[in-house]
C-alpha cells in the first residue's frame, strides 16, 4: 500500500503544480459565491459532495464501457487475436480510469486535531483541488477513449 500512497503523491504534485496560493484562495472564494454560501467550510464540503456525484456518474459510464468491450471481445464482431488484444487493451485502460475515478471519490485522510480548524480546512481544500484536477483528467481521457471505442467498434464490424 505504500507504493499507492507514493503514486498518489506524485500524481497530486503533478496535477496541482500550477495552483498558487492566490489561485487557491480565489477558487475557494468563488465556491462561496457560486453556491451562495457564506461559509468556506460548507462551500468546500458541498463541492466535495458534488465531486463524489460527478465521479459516480463517470464511473457508471466506465463500467458500462468495460462491459460493452468485454462482450465485444468475445462476440462475433472480433475475429482475430490482434482485434481481441485491442479490445482487452481498451478494457485495461478503462480499468485504470476506473481506479482514478474511485480516487476522486475516496474519503480524505484528515488528521482531526481538537481546535485546529485551519489545518483541517487546508487539508480539505487541498484534497478538493486535487480531486478537481484528477476528475478533469479522468473525464477528458474517458471522452477520448469512448470516441476511440466508437470508431473501433464500427471498424471491427465492417472490417
C-alpha distances out from residue 46 to 43, 87, 96, Å: 5, 38, 27
C-alpha cell at 138: 479522468
C-alpha cell at 16: 496541482
More confident residue, 110 or 10: 10
pTM: 0.85
The pLDDT of residue 112 is above 60? no
How far is Cα 42 from Cα 56, in angstroms, rounded to an integer? 21
- Residue with C-alpha cell 480499468? 95
- Residue with C-alpha cell 478494457? 91
Reported as a pLDDT band with limits 50, 70 and 90, residue 122 is confident
pLDDT in tens, 33-92: 876 777 888 888 889 989 999 999 999 999 999 998 888 767 767 777 888 888 889 999
**Once rounded to an integer, what is the mean pLDDT over residues 104-128?**
73
Helices 117-158 and 81-105: crossing angle in degrees, nearest 10, is 160
How far is Cα 130 from Cα 144, in angstroms, rounded to an integer? 21
How far is Cα 97 from Cα 142, in angstroms, rounded to an integer? 7
How far is Cα 94 from Cα 90, in angstroms, rounded to an integer? 6
Amino acid at each position: 500500500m505504500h507504493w499507492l500512497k507514493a503514486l498518489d503523491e506524485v500524481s497530486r504534485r503533478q496535477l496541482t503544480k500550477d495552483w498558487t496560493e492566490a489561485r487557491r484562495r480565489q477558487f475557494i472564494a468563488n465556491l462561496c459565491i457560486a453556491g451562495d454560501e457564506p461559509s468556506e467550510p460548507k462551500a468546500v464540503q458541498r463541492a466535495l459532495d458534488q465531486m463524489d456525484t460527478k465521479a459516480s456518474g463517470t464511473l457508471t459510464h466506465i463500467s458500462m464501457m468495460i462491459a460493452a468491450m468485454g462482450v465485444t471481445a468475445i462476440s462475433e464482431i472480433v475475429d482475430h487475436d490482434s482485434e481481441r488484444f485491442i479490445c482487452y487493451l481498451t478494457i485495461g485502460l478503462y480499468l485504470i480510469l476506473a481506479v482514478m475515478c474511485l480516487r476522486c471519490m475516496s474519503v480524505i485522510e484528515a488528521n482531526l486535531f481538537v481546535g485546529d480548524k485551519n489545518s483541517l480546512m487546508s487539508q480539505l481544500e487541498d484534497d478538493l483541488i486535487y480531486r478537481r484536477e484528477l476528475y478533469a483528467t479522468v473525464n477528458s481521457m474517458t471522452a477520448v477513449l469512448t470516441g476511440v471505442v466508437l470508431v473501433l467498434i464500427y471498424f471491427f464490424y465492417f472490417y
